[in-house]
Chains A and B, each alone.
Chain A
Amino acid sequence: MTTSLRTPYDGIVMAAPVTIPYVRYSIDSAQWWIGRALSALVAQAGIKVSDIDGLCVSSFTLGTDSGIGLTQHFGLCVRWLDTIPLGGTSAIAALRKAARAVQARDADIIACVAGDTNHVDSFRLTLENFSRFNQDAVYPYGAGGANSSFALIARNYMRTFGVTRADVGRIAVAQRANALRNPHALMKTPLSIEQYLAARPISDPIHLFDCVMPCAGAEAFLVMRDETAASLGLPAARLLSTIERHNAFAGDPMQVRGGWAMDIGELYAMAGVKPDDLDIVQTYDDYPVITMMQFEDLGFCGKGEGAEFVRQHDLTIDGDFPHNTSGGQLSVGQAGAAGAYLGLVEGLRQVLGTAGPTQVRDADLCLASGFGMINYDRGLASGAAIFAGTSR
């Protein structure tokens, strides 16, 4: 096993996992959703707003507001501020930055928040204006959005490794089963593999149940040192390791792996654990095929063995490989940048034993991953974190 030379995250913890229940469409602004998350953080942690001295925000729909405007908006007086526009990797990146800031005592309590609203035309506008390469070289080609971009990746991946839709469908079906236990999930009806296979095509081979539903919502958590958590009497999860990588494997003609594959040696070395030790895994599931790719790149199986892996494992809450226990973005909904936080926040609840109806028994060690920013032809950003509950 590789060893890590990076400074360990000794004494760095996460607390107060907050989810503001999602709605399909909201007439409220992103600022409203972020405000609700901050309010819930304060209430759950039993602190005053003035105790928050660091803020990290991610959102696609803040309009002209950035983090600095939000401090005035919410009456925050912070000494550490960051805005992270990394899409599906925003939560991991926020956690990494906040952890180092509290470790260095640049701040004591950092609120990491992501929230987005979803007006009726928000999603299309985000698609149309996503990035310059996207405007130039993707949107004018059928305007299929991320669905078409990921369809190309999925098609190549499935053909290269002999993966069928039924294999990929296992992930979506298992997550729907999990979502039925999560009262906040937007998807409330069971999904069978037959229904999955019979869904209407969106952009071949992506069909309806491969796609997330854009919605409004917010997620948040606090990052602090363990002595701060102890003084507040806050249950907290210990951060063991993280990785982050951008624009990995640029020479691959098409994406068949994400940046995790470059860094997992260090991820597990820093945490001092093996993939088998994990109790729960929360992957970034913008499409189930991307989750399958993550199972490989995060070291649960070899490259090309993802289909066999999902055939061999039960990915539900009560299964042998509890995965995306809230239902994931596929079944809970994708609240913009909050989608990056969904797995991390749910994982946090799991290791703190506060996940309620989706709680995995004795869950203590969790891996959460992020993936995002399809700037042109592939997802550019990847990240992951391993954290543990109080019993370790």
Chain B
Amino acid sequence: MLQRCEGCGAFTYPAREACPSCLSAALIFVDAPPRGLLLAETTAHVPSDVYFRERAPWRIGLVKMNCGPTIVAHLHGDCVEGAPVRMSFQLDKSGQAVAFARPEGETPNMADDRQWRELTADPRFRRVLVTNGRSAIGREVALALKVAGAKMVFVGVAEPWRPFAGENLLQGQDGIELVSLDAADEKSTRNLAADIGGKVDILVNTTDYVRPGGLLDRRGTSIARDEVDQAYLGFINLAQAFGPIMRMRGADGINNSVAWVNILSVYALANWPAFGAYSASQAACLSLSHCLRAELRPGGLKMMNVFTGPVDTEWFQTVPPPKVAPRAIAQAVVSGLKGGLEEMYVGDVAEEIRQRLASNPKALEREFDR
């Protein structure tokens, strides 16, 4: 994304308030062609900032974009002066979007580059806790992370003596360890954190509790209480048990603690009355996630929310397609971590709601009540 002038069409960078070609104030951020040429590079050996000092030497360069501007960028190790590069903005440890230049083509072990890994949360070589292995989402996420090169995937299972579907896919697998975890139970989360808290580089909160209904068709608060217990208080338990130690390990060597992931319903963003109370519990989790993002920031951890539409599981059985396959969610988790993102939208429903919220939120609300 770069600013482009609506008046004269010129791209500009760094961001500013008036176009340097025609002084128009109509500078709109748009997706810019990502190609450029690396004009010059340097390696900072003695940075003045403590963060970079610890990570020196650090390589940066100046890139002339094909669309016009020149951009100071972090460099992938395989970038060569005078050669074409492709640019992207990545979120750094402080949450700022920074330009990153990668070689135009693929190079061997490209994702393992030291500076690239500093700006992403790639699960490769890292240890992950998936909080709920009983669900199809939890199972698929665990398996996808393993395929993505995670060194160890801990999979939380409440009441582990009770068998569950797909247990055989996880049990006894190399690099996958089932652990006892009931997120809704404060003691259970604390016990697990005492055991493995210092070994969790990425936590994927797959806890969910889906029940249909809004307000008037339910009687009393017992179901709502369960929803809050499982999703919202479960999130708090997990955050309080694992958040502090993860934040402390944000700079713990090269396979440090890097990210927290929540899988949330897209109805956290806009209430769907058919699942109205569930939507509200998800909205509470979303709000809390922004709090957690701010609190994890000093440790440099990323907080990613993966928004999904109705999933192809039993609790959404009455909802017509399109529905999201648990495997698609798992793939989104992996690709979001590899890209170091803060938000992912999985499936057509989630993407549609994202777009419609941006264009006309009141129309979306009106549509949902039919």
Interface residues, chain A, CB within 8 Å of chain B?
A: 123-124, 127-128, 132-133, 136-145, 147-149, 151-153, 155-156, 159, 200-206, 250, 253-254, 376-377
Q: Which residue of A lies closest to B16 (CB)?
A: A133
Tell me the minimal C-beta distance from B239 to chain A in angstroms.
28
Interface residues, chain B, CB within 8 Å of chain A?
A: 13-16, 20, 39-49, 51-52, 56, 58-62, 64, 70-74, 92, 94, 96, 98-99
Q: Which residue of B lies closest to A132 (CB)?
A: B14
Q: CA–CA, A136 to B59, complex, Å? A: 18
Contacts of A123 on B, CB cut-off 8 Å?
48
Q: CA–CA, A204 to B45, complex, Å? A: 8
Contact: B39 with A253, CB < 8 Å? yes
Cβ 8 A contact of B60, one of A124, A128, A141, A159:
A141
Contact: B52 with A143, CB < 8 Å? yes
Cβ 8 A contact of B49, one of A124, A136, A153, A204:
A124
Contacts A124-B49, A127-B48, A141-B98; A152 near B73 (Cβ below 8 A): no
Contacts A148-B60, A250-B20; A140 near B94 (Cβ below 8 A): yes
Contacts of B51 on A, CB cut-off 8 Å?
143
Contact: A155 with B42, CB < 8 Å? yes
Contacts of A204 on B, CB cut-off 8 Å?
42-43, 45
Q: CA–CA, A147 to B49, complex, Å? A: 13
Contacts A141-B74, A142-B58, A377-B62; A203 near B49 (Cβ below 8 A): no
Contact: B45 with A141, CB < 8 Å? no
Tell me the minimal C-beta distance from A352 to chain B in angstroms.
39
Contacts of B94 on A, CB cut-off 8 Å?
140
Contact: A148 with B44, CB < 8 Å? yes
Contacts of B72 on A, CB cut-off 8 Å?
137-138, 141, 149, 152, 376-377
Specify which of B13, B47, B59 lies most central, judged by the most chain A CB atoms within 10 Å of its CB. Answer: B47
Contacts A152-B61, A155-B40, A253-B70; A140 near B92 (Cβ below 8 A): yes
Chain B, interface SS category? strand
Cβ 8 A contact of A200, one of B14, B45, B73, B96:
B45
Q: Which residue of B lies closest to A375 (CB)?
A: B14
Contacts of B98 on A, CB cut-off 8 Å?
140-141
Contact: A254 with B39, CB < 8 Å? yes
Contacts of A132 on B, CB cut-off 8 Å?
14
Given contacts A133-B16, A148-B60, A202-B44, 12 further A-B contacts (CB under 8 A): A132-B14, A137-B99, A140-B96, A141-B60, A142-B44, A142-B74, A143-B44, A143-B48, A152-B72, A155-B40, A254-B39, A254-B70
Q: Which residue of B lies closest to A131 (CB)?
A: B14
Contacts of A144 on B, CB cut-off 8 Å?
42, 44, 46-48, 52, 58, 60
Contacts A137-B71, A142-B52, A142-B58; A254 near B47 (Cβ below 8 A): no
Contacts of B16 on A, CB cut-off 8 Å?
133
Q: CA–CA, A377 to B14, complex, Å? A: 10
Q: CA–CA, A132 to B41, complex, Å? A: 22
Tell me the minimal C-beta distance from A376 to chain B in angstroms.
6
Contacts of A124 on B, CB cut-off 8 Å?
48-49
Contacts of A155 on B, CB cut-off 8 Å?
40-42
Contact: B62 with A152, CB < 8 Å? yes
Contact: B39 with A203, CB < 8 Å? no
Contacts of A141 on B, CB cut-off 8 Å?
60, 72-74, 98-99
Tell me the minimal C-beta distance from A294 to chain B in angstroms.
20
Ordered by A's residue number, 22 sampled pairs between the chains whose C-beta atoms are within 8 Å are A128-B48, A133-B16, A138-B72, A141-B60, A141-B72, A142-B58, A142-B74, A143-B44, A143-B51, A144-B46, A147-B44, A148-B42, A151-B44, A152-B60, A152-B62, A155-B41, A156-B39, A203-B42, A203-B44, A204-B42, A204-B45, A254-B39
Contact: A201 with B40, CB < 8 Å? no
Contact: B92 with A145, CB < 8 Å? no
Contact: B41 with A152, CB < 8 Å? yes
Contacts of A138 on B, CB cut-off 8 Å?
72
Tell me the minimal C-beta distance from B62 to chain A in angstroms.
5
Contact: B47 with A143, CB < 8 Å? yes
Q: Which residue of B lies closest to A127 (CB)?
A: B48
Specify which of A123, A144, A204 lies most central, judged by the most chain B CB atoms within 10 Å of its CB. Answer: A144
Contact: B39 with A139, CB < 8 Å? no
Cβ 8 A contact of A202, one of B15, B41, B45, B49:
B45
Contacts of B15 on A, CB cut-off 8 Å?
136
Tell me the minimal C-beta distance from B30 to chain A in angstroms.
18
Contact: A254 with B62, CB < 8 Å? yes
Contacts of A145 on B, CB cut-off 8 Å?
47-48
